[in-house]
Amino acid sequence: MTKNRSLTALIVVVAAAVVLTGGLMASNMGFKLNRSLVTAGGGTPASNSGSQLLALPYNRQVGIDMASDLFGDIGNVQNISVYDTQSDTYTLYTFGSPDFALEAGVGVLVKMGANVNYIIVGSHDPSAVIQLEAAGAASNSGTNVYAPPYHSTASLASELVAGLGISTVQNTSKYATDTDTYTLYTFGSPDFPLTPGEAYQVKMGQTLAFSPSHY
């Protein structure tokens, strides 16, 4: 899917912007995105397990601060998980289990019990700095689940890697819902498009405090 096509479902409301030659540069933007979340056997291509990586705006709508808030807001969710970089496993929330806070720039894995067209509302935080950890004390393997801004200047995996720094990042991966596997991009391999509302695995060779580039 090309960037233009992926943006057809995205309504951008400019909160504070300056128009410059070649595009729209904004310090803050509001978003409304209709994201299709599908259960096992749903979607095209069909989802294998009903799991998908979800990226939320950096400033979420009021009241969506915890996994339990998102669980209730989406509806028909089996569980929501966040990646634990120290153990390389997902910490799972389901109704009644220990809760966790949602963080700007960090994607979550959502497993659906039914198909839902989820309307995501929020805005960007231009001051956000995302900590991406390499293997070491804070990360076992250097794998992070990164949620790009909805108006990121990176529309391809190669552009994301270039923005992070080719010498800094080892690879980035896209979750394939139909197989529950990851499609990996590293320098020189086949590229893939980035889609607003999707999060991606990023494996770092060096720890980076990252300020995402955006329109």
* pLDDT, tens digit only, all 215 positions of the chain: 444 433 434 544 433 333 323 333 344 678 999 999 999 999 888 899 999 999 999 999 999 999 999 999 999 999 999 999 999 999 999 999 999 999 999 999 999 999 999 999 999 999 999 999 999 989 999 999 999 999 999 999 999 999 999 999 999 999 999 999 999 999 889 999 999 999 999 999 999 999 999 98
**Helix or strand or coil: residue 68?**
helix
Residue spans of the domains in the chain: they are: 3-123, 130-210
pTM of the model: 0.87
* Under 8 Å between Cβ of 40 and 48: yes
The residue whose two tokens read 């709508």 is 61
The secondary structure of 124-168 as a DSSP string is: --TT--EEEPPSBTTBSSSEEEE---TTBS--BHHHHHHHH-TTT
41 — alpha (psi -120 to 50), left (phi > 0) or beta? left
- pLDDT, residue 63, reads 95
